[in-house]
Structure 1
Amino acid sequence: MATQTRPLSTAEGFICGGFAACTAVTFSNPAEVAKTRLQLQGELARNGGVKVYKGALDVLAKTWKNEGFRGLQRGLSPAYVYQILLNGSRLGFYEPFRRTCNRIVGHSPTEQIAATSVAAGAGTGIVGACLGNPLFLIKARMQAYSPALPVGTQHYYKGPVDALATIYRAEKFRGLVRGIDAAMLRTACGSAVQLPTYNWTKNHLTQAGITSTGSVLTFLASSTVSGACVCLAMQPADTALTRMYNQPTQRLASGKMVGLLYKNPFDCLWKTLKTEGPFGLYKGSTAHFLRIAPHT
């Protein structure tokens, strides 16, 4: 007799999503390091500025040569905690959010509707981004740091605890939520397309008879398509987030710490587009795709 599978509870979805993301980030973190450094290379410089790195593979090769395995895995420990908070929220709360959105617009909770799926993806992504912002902040700064081939502003921390303590001493709570507006924009863009495109691709492949339900090929193809869509939608906001996190700051006469380069993510996007052109918004996109695919 066939057994019926029940949907995961919110708590089970949160735990499974967080665990799966931590497994993926162990392998994808070097690509994240490459992406971060490429996004900061030639920041606000016309014609790309001085190129320390030629591309994602060149970053990986030079980082391995100059910094070893430790350099490739910079920021891994805060990345674990961030992934638990972000993907645990996205995967754990996605179905409850989607079913609630369906009920609000008068549809069955089990019905797959593009608009409510996008809304649920964006909403859960924003929740996760807010929870994980301090961890993403220190992760980005730790990954950008290189004693051998520095690009962008350099922030040196002994570890994640030292990073959080240093930022809090200098800027208090405001420093820990620096860039949260950019984080919400970035994650909303990515989450709005990640699960909807993954589910759409998987359903299309199986219903058309191209692949079978539950096959490895189905999951790989769905992940690849979804990863490409996420990268395309999220890359400009991701570049803005990295630059806002990493920008130098100064203290005003009022005591408030402000960024020297950007006021908000839209200011960052505009300045990047104006000085570096459209390609400036997509720096590190190859490395970004290599990071996204395992997570999808």
Structure 2
Amino acid sequence: MSTTTGAFVAGGIAACGAVTVTHSFETVKIRLQLQGELQSKSEAVKKYRGVFHGIKVILQNEGPRGLFRGLGTAYVYQMILNGCRLGFYEPLRSGLTSAIFGNSQIQSLGVNVFSGAASGVLGAAAGSPFFLVKTRLQSYSPFLPVGTQHHYRNAVDGLRQIYRGEGVKGLYRGVGAAMVRTGFGSSVQLPTYFFAKRRLIRHLGMEEGPALHLASSTASGFVVCCFMHPPDTIMSRLYNQTGNLYNGIFDCLYKTISTEGPLAIYKGFFAHLARILPHTILTLTLAEQTNKLIRKVEERLLSDSLRAKV
């Protein structure tokens, strides 16, 4: 096992590699979630009719730049979020397991779920301002706008404008929804991944390697999307609002469902699935490889006592 610092770095690097591949699906997902916001089905105009139609119209009107709006900010956010999520998960899990059962090697589903949720919540809170700006950059379109439009030159300009207009409170708008969303996803991502991994080894005789990592990541990604999408939709709307369109998580949930119907919280689900599956597969698979690399580096450069401290 890498040190906490090593796991943080490995998780961040792995997530950045994954987000490079999946960022365009995230852009489409956000626009689908904001499309027809607080409009009845009869009033709403479908500018984006699905994942592939969304990619097509964005490419036609905005070019590749439109699909990859906010990518730099996404890197910063992923380094913070997944660095925390993958870096703090094992220390939290082993610490709690030792405290409760007296043996850090015991696998407890409850402890694993709590550790995954807690590490994800920490990362979401730390990275919330960057996800806020990323969401607004991705939702902006000069050709087919949906939802509130925020015109920022780049991430730094966005952070500056928000801070000047709303202060620190504005930078952390929607952080509660982000923590719920990431807590939901994180509580099932790593436990599901390791659960699937153990079952595949035990029942199918699979061995450590890319095939096992791919199969375990696929199972984890699907479960994550099912749990994560409703709070993800709420978070996107809270982040993108101007003023006080919504007074909080439950107000946004109520207004969305009462105006657009109960399935509105699943808008953009397939775009999310198209993003989360490869993202989870790449993040967890790359994390396995980067962790191995960092362990080798640490074994060469750090003494046993120093590794225990960091």
Scaled by the length of structure 1, the TM-score of the pair is 0.92
2:208 aligns with 214
In 2 relative to 1, CA 173–228 (structure 1 residues): closer, same or farther, beyond 3 Å? same
Residues of 2 paired with 1:231 and 1:96: CA distance? 25
Task: Give yes or no for the alignment of 1:18 onto 2:12.
Answer: yes
Unaligned runs of 5+ in 2: 281-310
Counterpart position of 1:284: 268
Give the Cα–Cα distance (whole angstroms) in 1 for the partners of residues 24 and 279 of structure 2. Answer: 14
The whole-number CA distance in structure 1 between the counterparts of 2:140 and 2:207 is 44
Instruction: Kindly indicate whether residue 85 of structure 2 is the aligned counterpart of residue 90 of structure 1.
Output: yes
Among 93, 106, 115, which residue is 1:120 paired with? 115
Tell me the equivalent position of 2:177. Answer: 182
Partner of 1:154: 149
- 1: CA distance between counterparts of 2:261 and 2:212? 37
Measured against aligned partners, the alpha-carbon deviations of 1:135-161 in whole angstroms (never above 9, x if no partner) come to 000000000000111000000100011
Q: In structure 1, what residue type is equivalent to 2:91?
A: P
Higher relative contact order (CA 8 A, sep 6+): 2
Q: Which has the higher helix share?
A: 2
- The AA in structure 1 aligned to 2:268 is G
177, 191, 197: which is aligned to 1:196? 191
- SS of corresponding position for 1:229: helix
Q: Which amino acid aligns with 1:57?
A: F
Q: What residue number does 1:245 align with?
A: 239
The TM-score with structure 2 as length reference comes to 0.88
| Number of equivalences | 279
The answer for the alignment partner of 1:271 in structure 2 is 255
Higher deviation after alignment, 276-285 or 188-197: 276-285
Code of the residue aligned with 1:183 in structure 2: it is: A
Report the alpha carbon displacement of residue 107 of structure 1 after superposing the two structures with TM. 4.3
Q: Give CA deviations for 1:95-135 in whole Å, capped at 9, x if unaligned.
A: 00111221232242121110000000010011000110000
Selected match of 2:224 from 226, 230, 255: 230
Aligned equivalents of 2:34 and 2:107: distance in 1?
Answer: 39
RMSD value, Cα: 1.1
Displacement after TM superposition at 1:219 (Å): 1.7
Cα distance, 1:277 vs structure 2: 2.1
Match of 1:256 in 2: none
Uncovered stretches (5+) of structure 1, i.e. residues with no partner: 1-6, 250-258
- The aligned residue for residue 293 of structure 1 is 277
1:44 matched to 2:28? The reply is: no
- Flag as ranges the 4+ runs of structure 1 deviating above 3 A: none
1:108 aligns with 2:107: no
Shift of 1:275: 1.9
What CA distance in whole angstroms lies between the structure 2 residues aligned with 1:233 and 1:81?
Answer: 24
Of 31, 36, 40, which residue of structure 1 is paired with 2:25?
31
Once the two structures are TM-superposed, the CA of residue 45 in structure 1 deviates from its matched residue by 1.4
Deviations, residues 44-67 of structure 1 (Å, cap 9, x unaligned) = 212261110110111111101111
Letter paired with 2:174:
G
